[in-house]
Amino acid sequence: MSYGSKRRKLLFSAGMSWMFDAMDIGIISFIAAALAKEWSLSPQQTGLFTSINSVGMALGAAAAGILADRFGRKAVLLWTLLIFSVATGLSALAASFTILCTLRFIAGFGLGGELPVASTLVSESVPAKERGRAVVLLESFWAGGWIASALISYFVIPNYGWQAAFVIGALPVFYALYLRRSIEDPIRFKAQASRKETAPTFRKRLASVWSSDHRRSTIMLWVLWFTVVFSYYGMFLWLPSVMVLKGFSLVKSFEYVLIMTLAQLPGYFTAAYFIEKFGRKFVLVLYLLLTAASAAWFGSASTEGMLMAAGICLSFFNLGAWGGMYAYTPELYPTSVRSTGGGLAASFGRIGGIIAPYLVGMLVARQVEIGSIFWIFFVTILVGALAVLWLGTETKGKELAD
C-alpha cells in the first residue's frame, strides 16, 4: 500500500470514529427536546441533561490525553470508542432521569477522550505541509455525524421514540473491531516510546505544559477551547429547543436544524483550504469573528428566513473554527507531551460545555429573551478570537517538535 493510500485510510478510519462521536452528541440535542415533552422536564433539568455529558467529556479529555502519552494513541482511542458506545446503548434502557444522566456522564467520558487523541494521532502521522488540512478534514467528519444525528432524529424519534435513537448510537461498538486492525500508533510516538528511560512522568509532562516554553500557548489554548466549547454547546445543544421556543413544532424544528447542519460541511472544507494557504491564526480569528456576528444575528432574527440564514452562517463559521482549533492544538507541543497538552486544553474547554447548556436553561426558565442569551455567546466568542490574535503563534508549515 502506498504512503498516500495509508494516509487516506488513516484519515478515513479516525474520521469514522469522529463521526460516530459527533452523532452521539448530536442526538442528545434532539433527544433533549423530545424528553422535555415526554417527561415534562423543566428548563433546568433539560440544561442538566445536556451539561452532564460535558462533565464526563471534561474528565475524559484530561484522562485520555494523559494516558495516550503513556500507553499510545491507538489503545486509548479504541477504549474511549467502546466506553461511549456501550453507555449510549444502555441509555435506551434508562427508566429514570437520574439513571439516564449517569449513563450520559459515562458516555461523555468516552466521547471527550476520543477527540483529542484522534486529532493527535492524525497530526503526528502526516507531513507538515498537509498536517493542518488533514486534521481539519478529520474534523469535517463531525458534520457527517451531526447530519446523521439530525436524520435519525427527524425520521426515528417522532415515530419510534428516543430510545431507538440511543440503540442506533450504540452501533459504533462494532466499528472498534475494524479500527483495531486499521490504525497504528504514529512512527514518531513509537520512536519516543521506545526510549523508555527518557519517557517523562505525568508530573513532568504537566510541568512541561506550564513551563516557560509553553505557558503562553497553554493560556491561549485554554481560553480558546473554553470560549469555543462554551458557545458551541450553549447554542447547538439548545438549537432544536430554541426553535420550539420560537414557535415551531418539534418535527419542523428538527427539519430546520438538519438544514442548518448541512452548512457545517462547506465550513470545514473552506477552513481546510485556507488553513494551509493563509495559516492557523488567520482561519481561527476570521471564523470566530464571523461566528460571533452570526450568533448576534440568530438571536435577533425576527422572520423565518432570517432565522434560517443566520443558523446556516452560524453552522458554517463555528464548525470551520472548530476544525482550525483541532489542527492548531497538537502543533504547539512536543511529542512527549502533545496528547497531554491537547487533552488538558480540551478538558478545560469542556467546563464551558458544562456551564453553557445549564446556564441557558436557567435563563430560559427566568424568561430571558433568546436574543439576550445569544449576545452572551457573541461576547464569549470575541474573547476567544482576541486570545488567538494576541497570544497565538503561527505554526503553518512547521515540523512538529520531538
For residue 90, is pLDDT > 90? yes
State the average pLDDT over residues 85-106: 93
When pLDDT is cut at 50, 70 and 90, the band that residue 285 belongs to is: very high
HEC letters along the chain: CCHHHHHHHHHHHHHHHHHHHHHHHHHHHHHHHHHHHHCCCCHHHHHHHHHHHHHHHHHHHHHHHHHHHHHCHHHHHHHHHHHHHHHHHHHCCCCCHHHHHHHHHHHHHHHHHHHHHHHHHHHCCCCHHHHHHHHHHHHHHHHHHHHHHHHHHHHCHHHHCHHHHHHHHCCHHHHHHHHHHHCCCCHHHHHHHHCHHHCCCHHHHHHHHCCCCCHHHHHHHHHHHHHHHHHHHHHHCCHHHHHHHCCCCHHHHHHHHHHHHHCHHHHHHHHHHHHHHCCHHHHHHHHHHHHHHHHHHHHHCCCHHHHHHHHHHHHHHHHHHHHHHHHHHHHHCCHHHHHHHHHHHHHHHHHHHHHHHHHHHHHHHCCCCHHHHHHHHHHHHHHHHHHHHHHCCCCCCCCCCC
| CATH number, domain with residue 323 | 1.20.1250.20
For residue 198, is pLDDT > 70? no
pLDDT the model gives residue 121: 85
Domain for residue 183, yes or no?
no
> Of 61-65, 80-84, 99-103, 224-228, where does mean pLDDT reach its minimum?
61-65
When pLDDT is cut at 50, 70 and 90, the band that residue 164 belongs to is: very high
Domain for residue 243, yes or no?
yes
pLDDT tens-digit readout, 286-339: 999 999 999 999 888 877 788 888 889 998 999 899 989 988 998 888 887 888
For residue 102, is pLDDT > 90? yes
pLDDT tens-digit readout, 207-221: 888 898 889 999 999
pLDDT the model gives residue 346: 87
Domain for residue 348, yes or no?
yes
When pLDDT is cut at 50, 70 and 90, the band that residue 95 belongs to is: confident
State the average pLDDT over residues 380-391: 96
257 and 273 Cβ atoms separated by less than 8 Å = no
pLDDT tens-digit readout, 109-130: 998 888 888 888 888 888 878 8
pLDDT tens-digit readout, 4-44: 677 788 888 888 888 888 888 888 877 887 888 888 888 77
- Nearest-angstrom CA–CA distance, 58 and 109: 7
Domain for residue 64, yes or no?
yes
Average pLDDT, the chain: 85
Query: For the chain, what is the domain count?
Result: 1
pLDDT the model gives residue 195: 61
pLDDT the model gives residue 199: 59
Domain for residue 264, yes or no?
yes
Domain for residue 195, yes or no?
no
- Nearest-angstrom CA–CA distance, 278 and 389: 14
Domain for residue 224, yes or no?
yes
Show the domain range for 220: 8-177+202-391
Domain for residue 188, yes or no?
no
Share of the chain above pLDDT 90, in %: 24
